[in-house]
Amino acid sequence: MDDAFRPAWQQLLETGILVQFRILDTHTESAPDNENIAVRADLIFAGDDENTAPSDLAEWGAFGFLYTLASLSFDDARPRGYSGEDFESEDSFTVSDFFEGLSYKNGELHLSVDYVRGRCMKTDITIRPDGTATLETWGRGQTALRWLDKLQGKKKLALVQ
C-alpha cells in the first residue's frame, strides 16, 4: 500500500514497534488496599549500535512509541465503577484519542489518559528530548511491565508440565 494511503494509526504503530529501548529502573507501589498498584518504568531509547544517540531515536520515534504504548494500555484496560456503561469489548484506541491526551510541556511530550470510552486506562507517558522516557500507571496492576516486554519481543513464560 502506498504510504500516502496508509491509515495514521498504522503508521504510528509501525514506527512505535521499531523503537528500541532499555529499561533503566522500575518501581511498583501498592496502595493500602493491596489491590491498586502504581508502576513507574524509566526507559532510554537505545539503537542497535553505540553510535545511535537516544535523542536521535526520540526525534523520529516518539509519537509512534507513545501511540503504541497507549494502544497496549487501551487493549488491556477494563471498566471500573460506572464506566462499564460506556465499555465496548470490540473497540480500539484511535488517533483522536491519542491527540486528546497529548501535550507538550517544558520541552517534553506527554500523553495522559484516564478513562476512554469506559476503559480505565490510568496511563501517563513522558518522552524527553534526550531520549529518556517514563511510563506510569496506577490501578492497573503490573500490566505496564508486560507491555514493555511485548515491545522488546519477550515471550510470556508459561509453566510446562
Q: What are 69-83's pLDDT values in tens digits?
A: 999 999 999 887 766
- Within 10 angstroms of residue 98's Cβ, the number of other Cβ atoms is 21
Burial 122-146 (b: 16+ CB within 10 A, else e): bbbbbbbeebbbbbbbbebeebbbe
Full-model pTM: 0.88
Q: What is the mean pLDDT of the chain?
A: 90
Domain boundaries, the chain: 3-151
Strand 108-116 to strand 119-127: parallel, antiparallel, or no bridges (unpaired)?
Answer: antiparallel
Where are the alpha helices (H) located in 102-159, listed in sequence order?
Answer: 143-151
Q: Retrieve residue 86's grid coordinates.
A: 460506556
Amino acid in position 4: A
Where are the alpha helices (H) located in the chain, listed in sequence order?
Answer: 8-16, 54-76, 95-101, 143-151
**Mean per-residue pLDDT, 76-95:** 82
pLDDT digits (tens, 9 = 90+) for 99-157: 999 999 999 999 999 999 989 899 999 999 999 999 999 988 889 999 999 999 987 65
**Is 70 exceeded by the pLDDT of residue 47?**
yes
Amino acid in position 7: P
Q: Which residues pair with 45 in a beta bridge?
A: 21
In this predicted structure, what is the pLDDT of residue 128?
A: 98
Q: What is the three-class DSSP state of 123?
A: strand
